[in-house]
Amino acid sequence: MNAGRVVVRVAPAKLNLTLAVVGRRPDGFHALHSVMVPLALGDRLAFTRAHGPADALHVTGPGGGAASALGPPEANLVLRGIAAARAALGARGVSPERLPALAVRLEKVIPVAAGLAGGSSDAAAAIDGAFDAWGFKLADEGLDAASVAVVGAAVGSDVPFFFAGGWALVEGRGERVTPLRAPIGEPLGVLLVTPALAVPTPDVFAAYAAGARPMTGAALATSGHLAGECARGLTAGRLLERAGLLAVANDLVPATAAVVPDLVAFRRAVSRLVGRSVGQSGSGPTLWVLYPSFDAAEEAAGRVRAAVHDGSLTAPGDGPPTICATTILTAPLSSPAQEPAE
């Protein structure tokens, strides 16, 4: 890439509308059946050529306050994503001189270790952005979207989902991604409430493996039904009618509750306050509530913020929860491919 060029990518958060655990695989990972959707809430990554010989990462933004929760830079999924992209191109005979070190500015907006797959989305955006920065397209060098998703899967279970670019049924440990049609109609609003505590995904799966799991297979039934309905074409209104069923269709809830017992009472309190069903995204602790529009979600966010402020709602964690309104994306975010150097 020429020295002044800046490649930009937006890395959306994801929400699990359903999450069924269908078994344990020989590799120790759990096999899932999950309808996953991308959100307008996202991190922003800007790639330039690094001054030094090594890839470099600089984290900023409101979520950057939790930079310590991101771990050391060398363990960050952005740098691991770039390394995976370089290795994939290197394995196809591309010379290292064509893959120079990159400097990435990551503006962190998505809460960290919150069940929103911010790290995996950053990794997917890093792979895609690195390809672009080095002047490669996915179709080049025999790399189609599926094989790039395989590169991503090695970095994190949720990475392949982000290469699908929209609503998807996710199976296996996350590597089997079947695109689904997004509902027709106004994009649904979502209220997200994330307690100020990082919940490591391995801890939640370990609790699940140790027996903290639901008694019924209801989540799988709901998940299968929703995937079928999406494939056939669902309206946003119909989806909203399903919110109560979706909110209880997450098999990891008892495991997350084993890791963060106070989340159970908090979830009930949020539900009482907003008068709607409250779901949990992924391994938590982010709670979600669906609304017909962004404005309706924003109005509810205001009520939750006020209740936290006046002390009538207390969240587990080291401080006040992150409360935000966003929408479920119905079309892929178009990332500005290039912008002038700052």
Active site residues: 14, 158
Comparing CA positions, the residue from 213, 321, 307 lying closest to residue 262 is 321
Which is nearer to ligand C5P, 132 or 158 (by Cβ)? 158
Which is nearer to ligand C5P, 175 or 229 (by Cβ)? 175
Question: Nearest-CB residue to ligand C5P?
Answer: 157
Tell the smallest beta-carbon distance from residue 246 to ligand C5P (Å).
19
43: three-class secondary structure by DSSP: strand
Neighbours of 53 (CB within 10 A): 8
Q: Which stretches of the chain bind ligand C5P, using CB under 6 A?
A: 29-30, 32, 156-158, 173-174, 201-202, 205
| End-to-end Cα separation, the chain, in angstroms | 16
Which is nearer to ligand C5P, 136 or 208 (by Cβ)? 208
Q: 């344990």: which residue's tokens?
A: 24
**Structure tokens, 155:** 């970095």
Q: Interhelix angle for 77-91 vs 145-153, to 10°?
A: 130
Tell the smallest beta-carbon distance from residue 175 to ligand C5P (Å).
9
Tell the smallest beta-carbon distance from residue 119 to ligand C5P (Å).
8
User: CA 239, 244, 289: angle at the middle one, nearest 5?
Assistant: 80
Tell the smallest beta-carbon distance from residue 263 to ligand C5P (Å).
18
Question: DSSP string spanning 110-175?
Answer: SPTTSSS-HHHHHHHHHHHHHHHHTT--TTGGG--HHHHHHHHHTT-TTHHHHHH-S-EEEEETTT
Tell the smallest beta-carbon distance from residue 157 to ligand C5P (Å).
3
Which is nearer to ligand C5P, 176 or 305 (by Cβ)? 176
Which is nearer to ligand C5P, 14 or 173 (by Cβ)? 173
Q: For residues 219 and 65, what is the distance between their CA atoms, to the nearest angstrom?
A: 35
Which is nearer to ligand C5P, 31 or 196 (by Cβ)? 31
Q: For residues 22 and 62, what is the distance between their CA atoms, to the nearest angstrom?
A: 36
Sequence-distant (≥ 6) Cβ neighbours of residue 89 within 8 angstroms = 98, 99, 131, 134, 136, 141, 143
Q: For residues 280 and 115, what is the distance between their CA atoms, to the nearest angstrom?
A: 8
Tell the smallest beta-carbon distance from residue 36 to ligand C5P (Å).
12
